[in-house]
């Protein structure tokens, strides 16, 4: 795939920040106009903190202008502050659940940040909790409502609410697999892996997070689900790559490959891994199993670069983000990925539609 200088510089700085090394592309120094474009692209892809770390590996005379660098520093400081506040609130929420004898796991976001060299520079989004027991899931939602907080249902039978300015999501399932014929198999894996959970220290408190194997599965299936639905950005690809690095000696590649094959997503995973190697500069030895030859994933990378804005617009009346054409967008994504994940591509609209209908009747 041919890139202009903006994309070349963006990925060179992203690789440098991800792996703590000097940028590997000879496109520097950059013009002020290109620096502005790199800055906007980094924000669009929510990796401005990582790209900033990459800039710090450049010679001083290659830095962006003083005004832009100052703006970047302010942005990174805001990311750090938000991460610290989210860590504090994660600790408080976990204490709240624990006091009410509710079993829960912190997934995605703050748990994944620990896989980075500089966790505070990973842009944090929402806060995700998984409740293995349905009764605990329902009780957690009820207790949050009793505090006067509005809890809303989401597609996929999840719930969400706002806690001190952060979006909090409660999930019943740890893995974003739509094929119902895989549920019993996944439940067996999860039950086995719960005993291998990792306790992550967040704000001075130990909070349970998924085992390395479940972390791999949850992050990569989450990416797949978003690509089938409405898109995702490069930050999630960085998460997948850093997991490979952080857990490279804590998972069995043979087991991972067997699970992906049974779920019918092995071919798609190979293309996802190809992106991490080709565009993010991740050494292949970090992968849990060898990369298949001749994996062309350029089309998938374009979906990442389109990000969550792809196919959406801001409604002038409501101010909310709306999709331009739900049916057409889903049809395009179905055609693109059905050859790699046929079961998931076919079951996604069915499960998604069913959950919408059920949530509507449950109101």
Domain ranges, ordered by start, for the chain:
100-210, 214-363
pLDDT for residue 361: 59
Instruction: Please state, in angstroms and as integers, the Cα–Cα distance from residue 158 to each residue in 200, 235, 283, following that order.
Output: 24, 23, 36
Helix (H, G, I), strand (E, B) or coil at 79: helix
User: With contact defined as beta carbons under 8 Å apart, do 200 and 206 qualify?
Assistant: yes
pLDDT digits (tens, 9 = 90+) for 206-264: 999 999 999 999 999 999 988 888 778 999 999 999 999 999 988 899 999 999 999 99
Residues 273-310 pLDDT 10s: 999 999 999 999 999 999 988 777 888 898 888 755 54
Q: Are 239 and 267 in contact (CB under 8 A)?
A: no
pLDDT at 184: 94
What is residue 195's predicted lDDT score, i.e. its pLDDT? Answer: 87
0.75 surpassed by pTM: yes
pLDDT in tens, 307-327: 555 444 444 444 444 555 566
Terminal alpha carbon distance of the chain: 48
Structure tokens at 166: 């952060």
3-state class of 287 per DSSP? coil
Euclidean distance between CA atoms 47 and 124, whole angstroms? 10
Residue 103 confidence class, pLDDT cut points 50, 70, 90: very high
The number of helices, as runs of H, and strands, as runs of E, in the chain is 14, 9
The per-residue pLDDT for range 75-85, each reduced to its tens digit, is 999 999 999 99
Helix (H) or strand (E) holding 171: strand 166-171
Tell me if 106 sits within 8 A of 94, measured CB to CB: yes
Whole-angstrom CA distances from 183 to 168, 174, 186, 188, 200 are 25, 11, 5, 9, 27
Helices (H), 170-233: 183-193, 212-229
The domain 100-210 is placed in CATH, from the list 3.40.50.970, 3.20.20.480, 3.30.460.40, 3.40.50.2300, at 3.30.460.40
Angle between helices 266-278 and 212-229 (to 10 degrees): 90
What does the alpha-carbon distance between residue 269 and residue 266 come to, in Å, rounded to a whole number? 5
Q: What is the pLDDT of residue 1?
A: 53
């Amino acid at each position: 795939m041919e890139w202009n200088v903006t994309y070349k510089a963006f990925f060179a700085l992203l690789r440098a920040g991800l792996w703590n090394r000097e940028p590997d592309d000879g496109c520097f120094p950059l013009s002020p106009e290109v620096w502005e474009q790199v800055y906007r692209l980094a924000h669009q892809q929510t990796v401005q903190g990582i790209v900033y770390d990459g800039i710090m590996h450049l010679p001083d005379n290659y830095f962006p202008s003083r005004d832009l660098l100052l703006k970047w520093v302010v942005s990174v400081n805001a990311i750090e502050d938000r991460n610290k506040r989210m860590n504090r609130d994660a600790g408080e929420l976990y204490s709240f659940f624990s006091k009410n004898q509710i079993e829960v796991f912190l997934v995605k976001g703050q748990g994944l940040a620990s896989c980075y060299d500089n966790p505070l520079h990973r842009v944090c989004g929402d806060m995700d909790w998984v409740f293995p027991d349905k009764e605990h899931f329902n009780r957690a939602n009820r207790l949050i409502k009793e505090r006067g907080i509005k809890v809303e249902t989401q597609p996929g039978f999840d719930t969400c609410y706002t806690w001190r300015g952060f979006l909090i999501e409660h999930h019943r399932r740890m893995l974003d697999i739509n094929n119902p014929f895989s549920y019993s198999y996944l439940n067996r894996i999860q039950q086995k892996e719960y005993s291998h959970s990792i306790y992550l220290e967040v704000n001075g408190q130990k909070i349970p997070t998924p085992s390395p194997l479940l972390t791999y599965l949850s992050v990569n299936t989450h990416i797949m689900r978003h690509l089938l639905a409405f898109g995702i950005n490069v930050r999630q690809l960085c998460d997948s790559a850093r997991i490979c690095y952080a857990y490279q000696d804590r998972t069995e590649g043979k087991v991972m490959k067997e699970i992906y094959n049974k779920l019918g997503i092995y071919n798609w995973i190979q293309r996802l891994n190809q992106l991490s190697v080709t565009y993010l500069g991740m050494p292949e030895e970090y992968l849990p199993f060898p990369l298949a030859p001749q994996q062309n994933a350029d089309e998938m990378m374009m979906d990442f670069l389109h990000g969550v804005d792809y196919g959406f617009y801001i409604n002038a009346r409501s101010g909310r983000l709306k999709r331009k054409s739900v049916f057409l967008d889903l049809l395009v994504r179905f055609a693109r990925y059905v050859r790699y994940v046929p079961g998931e591509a076919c079951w996604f609209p069915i499960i998604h539609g069913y959950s919408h209908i059920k949530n509507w009747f449950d109101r």
